[in-house]
Amino acid sequence: MDVIVLENIHKVFRLGGETVRALNGVSLTIHKGEYVAVMGASGSGKSTLMNVLGCLDQASMGGYRLEGLCVTAMNKHQLADVRNSKIGFVFQGFNLLPRTSALENVELPLLYSRHSSGVSHRDKARSALDKVGLSDRMDHHPNQLSGGQQQRVAIARALVNDPAIILADEPTGNLDSKTTLDILSVFKSLNDKGITLIMVTHEPDVASHAKRVITMRDGIIIDDRNVDQKDRVVAP
Amino acid sequence: MKWQKLIKVAFQSILKNRMRSLLTMLGIIIGVASVIALVGLGQGSQADIEKQVSSMGTNLLIIHQGSSFSGGVRGGTGTQASLSMEDVAALREKPLTIQYVSPVIRLNEQVIAGKKNWNTAIEGVSQSYLNIRNYRLSRGSFFTPRDIKAKAKVAVLGKTVVDELFPGQDPVGTRIRIRNVPFVVVGVLGSKGQTAMGSDQDDVILVPDTTAFYRLSDGKAIRAIMVSAVSEDLMTDAEADVRKVLRHAHKLPEGEEDDFHVRSQTELISVASKVTGTLTALLSAIAGVSLLVGGIGIMNIMLVSVTERTREIGIRMAIGARGGDILIQFLIEAVILSLIGGIFGIMAGVGIAFGIGKATGTSVVVSTWVILATVIFTASVGVFFGFYPAKKASALNPIEALRYE
């Protein structure tokens, strides 16, 4: 099943008098259960692509279908609802709410959810934290957690609403190499459970953990290949 | 998002910056406290006035002399000597509507008792004056119909007069001199305190009307006649009867103006409460301005808060908060901020009102509806001044908000 279908996406910004073509005709299909890394130098358009995929921004032109829903025709409220129910974000800077416990941080998307299920918010948040191996740190505040642990909380928050995709924007950018491998193994185990993952990174080592690597330059995809599992950089 | 969660988040944010929140609330606290205190004291003195009225008797009618008119110059009330003892007698003959009638012959005289002297009001009144004015005797007795008939030189003293002339003594049976006429003190009036206008009702000496009329006032006319109606419901009828009797007694032809004035006590009260009411409203309006200033303080701090929490707003939007969710969150924070200020202000205001009331002897009335209205008003101040910052927060672009350092 196709989770994401992008057709000839363009994104144009006007900065002062200058027109910046951040995306210049991107077409891409991502299937359920894929683990995709998006690579590229800064200014290649990968962050803009991420914003469009994450429904934080609308494309100037082109079509975007997320699980069959036509996102390009949606208004601000509908986009917020799509972000809430279909997309889980993991950021470079973790972006947890300070002075708020891990459990409450994970609960946050549920509070904005417009479809309530029978399961209580607390229980859903607990099981999400369990999946990232942090069930013993639920009541800790972000400043009591290490970077790797904070990123795990962020991943749990992304997972809690059972999203169609998890979008990770440089998820290991603020982490040391050991913690990076730690987080990548969390991603791997999630992907093994069938969760679709898209990760933006500029580090080839990190990208090599994905099953498919897309490389961008000047707003277009210049390379799209499946990674041979044996090519993987294995942790020492 | 659920209400309790929203309120919890708002409290967390308010408590995070305790000092800042308190200073922000201060404007609201001062505004609400002054409004509550002023309204409390204003309503209290209004209640005092009303109590006074009912203690004087709500069925009281006061007849004054009319104004003189000669050579195109109109004098004020009482300049025309139009009331006489005959009028008093005539009024007594209307028992269906009029219960008590008493003339009031008022003089200001120096009163001498032993080595002490005191200037006070002498009122020549009939026996029924006690009933008309709801006076009670604390000592001795009031003068009798025989005293009145005999123009007896007897006097009943008010408490203030006793305190000045006979400190710590029982004056009953002693002699005092009014205008060099010796009087025997037969009784002491119970204390009535001040009127709403601040005049001392105990600074008075009552003597028989006949004595005052013939022995003290040189046969001058009667200044006023007090009449009490049989009941409060018959006030209008009583007033009409008074008019009819007096016009007849004064032989006024039809079409000519009355040469006297009839006033009811309730009329006086309504004027007095109108004055205090206007004053209270005016002062409260001024205090209300400080509430608005407090509201601007809230707006200012909410704008700071929105800027400080731009990143948090970005996170919330990224995980699916709609603009409306953010708007409500900041609005609730502003409302809670001003409501807490309002509650502190109410407590402070009630305290101040009772403090001032105790110090000045005024009653204080803090009614539920004033508190309710204040609470609603402060909440609206929060909504009004919180709306702009909240709107600003809700209109943030999530991408830029997430990037905000």
Cβ distance A174 to A92 under 8 Å? Answer: yes
Q: Tens digit of pLDDT for each residue in B61-78?
A: 888 887 656 566 666 655
Residues A157, A87 contacting (CB under 8 angstroms): no
What is the pLDDT, as a whole number, of residue A99? 85
**pLDDT over 80 at B149, yes or no:** yes
CA atoms within 13 A on the CB side of B175: 7
Residues of A with Cβ-Cβ distance to B318 under 8 angstroms: 54, 56, 83, 89, 95
By C-alpha distance, which of B313, B239, B340 is closest to B14? Answer: B340
Distance CA B371, CA A53 (A): 53
CB B402 within 8 A of CB B314: yes
- Dump pLDDT digits (tens) for B220-279: 667 888 888 888 778 888 888 888 888 888 888 887 778 888 887 767 767 777 887 888
No. of H helices and E strands in chain B?
A: 13, 12
Quick check: B326 and B309 in contact, CB under 8 A? no
| Residues A115 and A179 sit within 8 Å (Cβ to Cβ) | no
Cβ–Cβ contact B403 with A under 8 A: no
Q: For all residues of chain A together, what is the average pLDDT?
A: 90
**Across the interface, which of A80, A97, A157 has its CB nearest the CB of B322?**
A80
Q: Is A97 on the interface with B (CB under 8 A)?
A: yes
Chain A residue with CA closest to B397: the answer is: A56
Q: Which residue has the tokens 């609603």?
A: B376
For residues A207 and B241, what is the distance between their CA atoms, to the nearest angstrom? 108
Half-sphere exposure of B26 (CA within 13 A, CB side): 8
**ipTM value of the model?**
0.92
Place of tokens 């001058």: B220
DSSP B323-379: HHHHHHHHHHHHHHHHHHHHHHHHHHHHHHHHHHHHHHT------HHHHHHHHHHHH
Token pair 């803009």: residue: A48
Residue B57: pLDDT band with limits 50, 70, 90: low
Closest CA–CA distance from residue A232 to any residue of chain B (Å): 32
Return the closest-CA partner of residue B319 out of A128, A88, A96, A66.
A88
Query: What's the rounded mean pLDDT across residues A194-221?
Result: 93
3-state secondary structure of B126: coil
> Strands A35-39, B175-178: parallel, antiparallel or unpaired by DSSP?
unpaired
Tell me what the mean pLDDT of segment B289-295 comes to.
Answer: 87
> Which of B319, B329, B396, B399 to substitute to test the interface with A, most A CBs within 10 Å?
B319
pLDDT at B85: 82
Note the pLDDT of residue A62.
92
Q: What is the pLDDT of residue A128?
A: 92
Q: Which two tokens stand for residue B274?
A: 């109108």
d(CA B48, CA B41): 10
For residues A86 and A69, give the distance between their C-alpha atoms in angstroms, rounded to a whole number: 11
The residue among B2, B18, B315, B396 with the most chain A CBs within 10 A of its CB, best to mutate, is B315
Task: Report the residue from A97, A100, A112 with minimal CB separation from B325.
Answer: A112
Locate tokens 């229980």: which residue? Answer: A123
For B251-328, strand residue ranges (E) read 260-264
B10 touches chain A (CB under 8 A): no
User: Residue A37 has which token pair?
Assistant: 């890394």
- Between A16 and A155, the higher pLDDT residue: A155
In a mutagenesis test of the B interface, which of A58, A84, A162 is the best target, namely the one with the most B β-carbons within 10 Å? A84
The predicted pLDDT at position A236 comes to: 46
Nearest to A117 by CA among A158, A162, A82: A162
CB of A211 within 8 Å of any CB in chain B? no
Shortest CB distance from A109 goes to which of B16, B320, B324? B320
What pLDDT, on the 0 to 100 scale, is given for residue A169?
Answer: 93
Task: With cut-offs at 50, 70 and 90, classify the pLDDT of residue A231.
Answer: low
Amino acid at B30: I
Domain boundaries, chain A: 2-231
The alpha-carbon gap from A81 to the nearest alpha carbon of chain B, in Å, equals: 6
pTM, rounded to two decimals: 0.71
Closest alpha carbon within chain B to A97? B312
Task: Please tell me which of A77-91, B38-52, B157-171 the model is most confident about, judged by mean pLDDT.
Answer: A77-91
Question: d(Cα A97, Cα A142) in Å, to the nearest integer?
Answer: 8
Helix (H) or strand (E) holding A155: helix A147-159
If we measure between CA atoms, which residue out of B229, B349, B357, B375 comes closest to residue B287? B349
Give mean pLDDT, residues A114-118: 70
Average confidence (pLDDT) over B309-331: 93
- Which of the pair, B341 or B85, is modelled with greater confidence? B341
Q: Chain A neighbours among B 95-154 (CB < 8 Å)?
A: none
A213 pLDDT band (50/70/90 cuts)? very high
Choose among B1, B315, B323: nearest Cβ to A95.
B315
Residue with tokens 């009145």: B148
Q: Indicate the range of B40-44, B79-83, B233-237 predicted with least confidence.
A: B79-83
Token look-up 């986009």 returns: A79
Helix (H, G, I), strand (E, B) or coil at B106: strand
Residue B287 near residue B31 (C-beta atoms within 8 A): yes
Of B5, B311, B320, Cβ closest to residue A84:
B320
Task: Decide if A91 touches B, using CB distance below 8 A.
Answer: yes
Is B328 an interface residue toward A (CB < 8 Å)?
A: no
What residue type is B106 in one-letter code?
R
pLDDT for A189 beyond 50? yes
* Of A174, A170, A199, nearest in space to A187 by CA: A199
Q: Is B12 on the interface with A (CB under 8 A)?
A: yes
Q: Domain ranges for chain B, please list them.
A: 2-52+270-403, 83-258
According to DSSP, residue B231 is labeled S
Across the A:B interface, residue pairs with CB atoms under 8 Å apart total 59
pLDDT digits (tens, 9 = 90+) for A44-92: 999 899 999 999 999 999 999 999 899 998 999 999 999 999 999 999 9
**B32 lies within 8 A of chain A by CB:** no
CATH of domain A2-231: 3.40.50.300
